[in-house]
Structure 1
């Protein structure tokens, strides 16, 4: 009987430990259209440790935020009505386990279609999922990105 209790306890502990090693890889970006300034404003939320691993720079290094901006610029492309848009970075901040990156696309008068290529962390983490939520003139759209589906397009 004692052996059965030990075995049951060991199996319970083993199954709890198997959940402890699971890591969830995701980023979230919100895109808001500001009609007055004809601007698409983006706010990305990325796990600090994951992006630190991807760009291979310690998060406490002075140039960390600049490298994050460069990384996002190389891994996030926006096309409005089929035309590529230049992204302007307006800021970033590290807040504990989250890096917030702020950027925008200017000169966006009307959006009939919005195409985004989002490869943030996809090269570093095979199970990475990126989500972009878009708010345009009262319409809400959501895009999902993962390996094999790095480009997504929505129509308004």
Structure 2
């Protein structure tokens, strides 16, 4: 029994150590529909070091926000009811290990379907996993993106 506990303990320790060395690459986007202004508002959270590596600029420099804006515009496409929508960057905020990016699109009267192409950090990190949660008129939908599955669509 003692030998079994030792082997089990070593096995559990090895598993825990393997998790501590594995990097986890993800972004999370929350999309909220604001009915009064007919606007979809996006909030994306990314790891500060990961986005810094992707755009090759220090997050503490003055040009960081402009590069993040350009990066998001080049790596996030939105289609409402089959029509492409323009995203307007409204700001970003570095908060320690996280960067929050804010953008929106207006003139959204009714949503039958939302199609998104999300390639944020996918070219820099092969194991990157992006999640988009959409709240629209009491309905909640979730999309997942990774290499090989950069485009997703949901219907309301």
Same-fold call, TM > 0.5? Answer: yes
Which ranges in structure 1 are unaligned for 5 or more consecutive residues? Answer: 1-9
Partner of 1:72: helix, strand, or coil? Answer: helix
SS at match of 1:99: strand
- Residue of structure 2 in register with 1:118 after alignment: 118
Provide the rounded CA distance (Å) in 2 between the counterparts of 1:14 and 1:60.
37
Match of 1:45, SS state, is strand
> Which digits, 9 at most, give the CA deviation of each residue in 1:70-97, with x for residues without a partner?
1011100100000000001111110000
Q: How does 1:5-154 map to 2 (within 5 A)?
A: 17-154=17-154
Question: Deviation above 4 Å: which 4+ runs of structure 1?
Answer: 10-17
Listed as ranges, the gaps of 5+ residues in structure 2 are 1-9
> 2:65–2:91: 8 Å Cα contact kept in structure 1?
no
TM-score when normalising by structure 1: 0.89
CA gap of 1:11–1:79, structure 2 versus 1, over 3 A, is closer
Aligned residues: 148
Residues 75 and 12 of structure 1, relative CA distance in 2, 3 Å threshold:
same
The one-character-per-residue Cα deviations of 1:66-122 (angstroms, maximum 9, x if unpaired) are 111110111001000000000011111100000000000110000000000000000
| Alpha-carbon distance in structure 2 between the residues aligned to 1:11 and 1:132 | 36
TM-score (norm 2): 0.89
Distance in 2, Cα, partners of 1:112 & 1:11: 50
Structure 2 residue matching 1:50: 3-state secondary structure:
helix
Root-mean-square deviation (CA), in Å? 1.8
What is the alpha-carbon distance in structure 2 between the residues aligned to residue 61 and residue 91 of structure 1? 15
- State how far apart, in whole Å, the 2-side matches of 1:108 and 1:91 are: 21
